[in-house]
């Protein structure tokens, strides 16, 4: 492909060379440069791609895209490579990546989900329903990317633009015509999804999050970045019950649809009822557009909101009611209110709740099921905010009947120091707790001492499959810890 073809949707200035040269490779990684490569220099949070230009010249780079205002040596470059200057090199990379991979998104239905909470669960619900209908559906999100039977662990909720379009191409080549993806505020801010027209864009909810260094300067900026999605979509589907939906709709340029439980909406749920039986918990509800009653094998009002997102997309795509009912009943999301079925006497749930707000939400949700006890197992990450430890300790002390304080990615800190900080919060509540620093031992203790009607919550790690200690990631997965504990107890003649 000629460089000028890659740049067809990019505003640029040619500073040196010929834009009609052939390009065989496109990258923003200086380590992947060779002859025939177009290198896009990006100013990142950690490093500036412009500083690697001399190295790319030594590797035989053919074209270099630089950002206006960045520092680079024109004299060094001009006789060795074609030099393109743009106002925003991240934006240029997004548009160039689309052309490089042949604009695969134009041949697929693209569904994007943004919001503070609910994105991950909703993507899996949508995929479950569409797959049940026979639609091969790709998924891109926080946990993983799914292309057919291939599951690849994710580095970012929404990949960098080059990786995103490369993924679209792989999906299309695999016969996938529908993609459901999480769209983070950071991705929108950094132009990772620039140029993509989403067929459906969903707004789940908004609350203060991701505000600070290298993220968002303020809540207002965070909200504005989320709103960008609805200016590059055909149909926007909004949570009518969220107080920020009105502002998001005002900023949108797409066709509007709504869902909710409390306010008038195009897709409205009602008559929600909780159920618990033999270690299983969930709920049932009615939906205005479906005659049959729906069942979710996961707890919480927030699960109904997630289900409404999935229903709205499925109905727009013509999914039959029977497949929607089946897809929602079958939905399971690794590490998101994930019920592990090991006993008829008690329930055990894995959840990613790793801050006070998320922990409070799930514990309050589970309290509605009137359990015998709520037993919460959690720790806090090392080399992170100590405030989070105090807050999570206080929340668990207030809302759990018993807390087991343990480790969660201590990184370069002593786990006992982290536990000491958690105790500062929990001791404000005068609630029962125990310290078991080894997470496997903590899980074993909880299961061995479980009582009839208990709900045990393993909070904080969710889908993660590692424990980070002193810079090394050791394999550790919550579901495996649970099954290992069951095996150890069976070996001792104890049935759970």
CATH, residue 90? 3.40.1390.10
**Residue 309 in this model has a pLDDT that exceeds 90:** yes
The one-character DSSP state at 51 is: G
Alpha carbon distance 79, 16 (integer Å): 8
Q: Do 90 and 125 lie in a common domain? A: no
Query: What radius of gyration do the chain's Cα atoms show?
Result: 25
Domain count, the chain: 3
pLDDT confidence bin for 45, thresholds 50/70/90: confident
Q: What is the pTM of this model?
A: 0.92
Q: Helices 439-448 and 478-491 sit at what angle, rounded to 10 degrees?
A: 50
The mean pLDDT of 320-339, rounded to a whole number, is 94
Supply the range of the domain harboring residue 47. Answer: 3-100
The three-state secondary structure class of 18 is: coil
151 and 77 share one domain: no
- Convert the pLDDT of each residue in 421-462 to its tens digit: 999 999 999 779 999 999 999 999 999 999 999 999 999 999
Per-residue confidence band for 210, with pLDDT thresholds at 50, 70 and 90:
low
The answer to the question of residue 496 being in a domain is no
At residue 212, the pLDDT reads: 60
Residues 115, 88, single domain; the answer is no
Residue 401 in any domain: the answer is yes
Summarize the confidence of residues 79-108 as an average pLDDT: 97
The residue-averaged pLDDT of 225-240 equals: 97
Count CB neighbours of 452 within 10 A.
Answer: 10
What DSSP element (H or E) covers 67? strand 63-67
Asked which of 100, 116, 149 is the last residue of a domain, the reply is 100
Please give the pLDDT value at position 216.
62
Cβ contacts of residue 173 below 8 Å, gap of 6+? none
Question: What is the model's pLDDT at position 214?
Answer: 64
Does pLDDT of 386 surpass 90?
Answer: yes
Looking at residue 128, what is its pLDDT?
95
Query: Tell me, what's the pLDDT at 385?
Result: 87
Give the residue-averaged pLDDT of 27-51: 95
DSSP letters spanning 225-254: HHHGGGGSEEEEEEETTSTTHHHHHHT--S
How far is CA 370 from each of CA 8, 260, 295, 399, 429, rounded to the nearest angstrom? Answer: 61, 25, 19, 12, 21
> Which of 79, 100, 121 marks a domain boundary?
100
Burial of 429 (0-12, 13-18, 19+ CB in 10 A): middle
Predicted local distance difference test score (pLDDT) of residue 86: 98
CA distance 35 to 56: 10
Collect all residues with Cβ–Cβ distance below 8 Å to 204 and sequence separation of at least 6: 113, 114, 115, 116, 117, 118, 119, 122, 239, 242, 305, 306, 309
On whether residue 39 sits in a domain, the answer given is: yes
Q: What is the pLDDT of residue 215?
A: 65
Helix axes 415-426, 386-399, angle to 10 degrees: 50
Mean pLDDT, residues 80-104 taken together? 98
Residues 411 and 433 in one domain: yes
Distances 164 to 96, 134, 139 between C-alpha atoms, Å = 12, 24, 11
Whole-angstrom distance, CA of residue 138 vs CA of residue 177: 8
């Amino acid at each position: 492909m000629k460089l000028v073809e890659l740049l067809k949707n990019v505003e640029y200035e040619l500073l040196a060379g010929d834009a009609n040269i052939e390009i065989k490779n496109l990258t923003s990684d200086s380590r992947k440069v060779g002859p025939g490569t177009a290198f896009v220099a990006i100013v990142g949070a950690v490093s500036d791609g412009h500083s690697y230009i001399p190295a790319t010249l030594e590797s035989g780079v053919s074209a270099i895209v630089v950002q206006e205002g960045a520092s680079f040596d024109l004299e060094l470059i001009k006789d060795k490579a074609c030099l393109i200057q743009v106002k925003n090199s991240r934006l240029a990379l997004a548009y160039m990546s689309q052309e490089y991979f042949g604009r695969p998104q134009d041949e697929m239905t693209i569904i994007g989900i943004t919001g503070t909470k609910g994105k991950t669960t909703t993507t899996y619900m949508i995929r479950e329903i569409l797959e049940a209908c026979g639609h091969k559906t790709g998924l891109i999100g926080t946990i993983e990317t799914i292309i057919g039977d291939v599951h690849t662990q994710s580095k970012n909720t929404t990949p960098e633009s080059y990786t995103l379009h490369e993924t679209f191409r792989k999906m299309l080549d695999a016969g996938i015509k529908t993609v459901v993806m999480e769209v983070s505020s950071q991705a929108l801010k950094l132009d990772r999804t620039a140029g993509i027209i989403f067929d459906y864009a969903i707004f789940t909810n908004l609350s203060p999050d991701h505000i600070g260094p290298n993220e968002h300067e303020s809540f207002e900026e965070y909200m504005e970045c989320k709103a960008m999605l609805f200016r590059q979509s055909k149909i926007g589907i909004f949570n009518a019950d969220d107080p920020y939906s009105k502002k998001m709709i005002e900023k949108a340029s797409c066709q509007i649809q709504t869902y909710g439980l409390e306010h008038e909406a195009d897709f409205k749920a009602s008559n929600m009822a909780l159920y618990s039986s033999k270690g299983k918990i969930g709920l049932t509800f009615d939906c205005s557009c479906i005659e049959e009653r729906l069942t979710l094998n996961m707890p919480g009002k927030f699960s109904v909101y997630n289900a409404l997102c999935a229903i709205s997309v499925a109905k727009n795509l013509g999914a039959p009611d029977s497949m929607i009912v089946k897809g929602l009943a079958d939905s399971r999301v690794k590490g998101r209110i994930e019920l592990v079925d090991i006993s008829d006497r008690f329930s055990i749930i894995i959840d990613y709740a790793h801050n006070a707000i998320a922990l409070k939400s799930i514990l309050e949700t589970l309290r509605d099921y009137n359990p015998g006890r709520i037993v919460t197992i959690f720790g806090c990450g090392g080399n992170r905010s100590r405030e989070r430890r105090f807050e999570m300790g206080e929340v668990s002390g207030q809302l759990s009947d018993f807390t087991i304080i343990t480790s969660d990615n201590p990184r370069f800190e002593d786990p006992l120091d982290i536990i000491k900080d958690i105790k500062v919060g929990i001791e404000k509540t005068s609630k029962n707790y125990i310290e078991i620093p080894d997470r496997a031992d903590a899980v074993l203790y909880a299961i061995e001492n479980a009582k009839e009607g208990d709900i045990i919550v393993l909070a904080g790690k969710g889908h993660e499959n590692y424990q980070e200690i002193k810079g090394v990631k050791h394999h550790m997965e919550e579901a495996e810890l649970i099954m290992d504990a069951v095996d150890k107890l069976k070996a001792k003649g104890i049935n759970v």
